[in-house]
Amino acid sequence: MTEAEFSAFLKDISDCFISEDFGPWADRVELPFSIVTKTGPHISYTTQDLKAEFDLYILASRTMKLDLVFRTPVSIENCEDGTVIATYRTELLSHGQRMTEPFTSSALMKKTDGHWRMTAILNARGHDSWTGNTAHKEGSLE
């Protein structure tokens, strides 16, 4: 993965939350997809699970009145098995104001059918701190 590919990937996964368009998010994820937050790992096994969790992040985005999700590359580690550990910094903004402190996450990525997709995110922020929705079914994302 090149830095240009990673930057384009980050723009795609950021813009879909502002446009509220699930399609680009689903296209950048490979199931099963796991997210590890401070409360532990959660796995989305189906597109329906992924969509339900995406919708909760959209609710959080609306609650914070986000107009920009800005992710910048930090590092790219090309692994011997062809996967990539891609680390990035996320800022959530509303009218130029940070709505949370920036945070750093790492995604495990692999190329499938010529496209980079995430299989896992480590150190993600769960929507629950913004939506108050902590009731989720086992196996879903937080």
Structure confidence at residue 4 (pLDDT): 96
Model confidence pLDDT, tens digit, residues 66-81: 999 999 999 999 999 9
Q: What is the DSSP string of 37-59?
A: ETTEEEEE-SHHHHHHHHHHHHH
Sign of CA dihedral 44, 104, 85, 76: positive
Give domain 3-126's CATH architecture: Roll (3.10)
pLDDT of residue 140: 38
pTM given for the model? 0.82
Domain segments of the chain as ranges: 3-126
pLDDT at 131: 41
pLDDT digits (tens, 9 = 90+) for 90-133: 999 999 999 888 989 999 999 999 999 999 999 865 444 444 44
Rounded to 5°, the CA angle 77-93-118 comes to 30
The per-residue pLDDT for range 19-74, each reduced to its tens digit, is 999 999 999 999 999 988 877 888 999 999 999 989 988 998 999 899 999 999 99
The owner of tokens 């090149």 is 2
84-118 burial code (b ≥16 CB/10 A, e <16): bbbbbebbbbeeeeebeeeeebbbbbbeeeeebbb
